[in-house]
Amino acid sequence: MGGADKGLIELNGRPLIKHVLAAIAPQVAAVIVNANRNLDRYAGFGYPVVRDDLAGFQGPLAGFAAAMAAAATPYILTLPCDGPLLPADYLQTMSAALENDDAELAVAHNGNRLQPVYALLPCTLRPSLVAYLNNGDRKIDLWYATQRMALADFSHCPEVFRNINTPDERDRLMRESKHNS
């Protein structure tokens, strides 16, 4: 997106983050937004904003660690700001996978591949995550592999994991949503 902050890119007249917040807020007890720029704009959406608390850009795992530190709940449910098609049963599906597999964490799977930024993570794993990051590691899948992980099956709705990485992808999604409404 040419270096633009993806959460603030508009889709159908609203920033992507507003689509995501509207989809997730009814499913959870609290929402925390993780951002490292445009903090005032994100705060304007009415939810607490936390920055990565580890030095340097360390990717999604650093955002997970920051959210774990800020959360008042035992788990965090993660999702990207550029995936506006979240299903109404996202939390329910993730929780069921966690419970059914007696796992520590749950990660979404679309039927073909793992969707690693869509996860349900216990805040008690924060020390493990911070140690992993402090060791210089960044691969999300490799950290997951060190835990008891459940796969949450979203093969019935793989479109949930469409994200917007280019203006063309955004425009295509806008055309499709207008055609389907």
- Which listed CATH number (3.10.450.50, 3.90.550.10, 3.90.1150.110, 3.50.50.60) goes with 6-180? 3.90.550.10
Domain residue spans of the chain:
6-180
Using the predicted structure, report yes or no on whether residue 178 has a pLDDT greater than 60: no
**pLDDT at position 173 over 70:** no
pLDDT over 90 at 49, yes or no: yes
Q: Enumerate long-range contacts of 65-69, CB under 8 Å, 24 or more apart.
A: 65/126, 65/129, 65/130, 65/133, 66/34, 67/32, 67/34, 68/121, 68/123, 68/125, 68/126, 68/129, 69/123, 69/126
Q: With 0.85 as the threshold, say if the pTM is over it.
A: yes
Would the pLDDT of 181 be above 70? no
The pLDDT score that the predictor gives to residue 179 is 47
Residue 160 pLDDT > 90, yes or no? no
In this predicted structure, what is the pLDDT of residue 80?
93
Q: Residue 20 pLDDT > 80, yes or no?
A: yes
Q: How confident is the model at residue 56 (pLDDT cuts 50, 70, 90)?
A: low
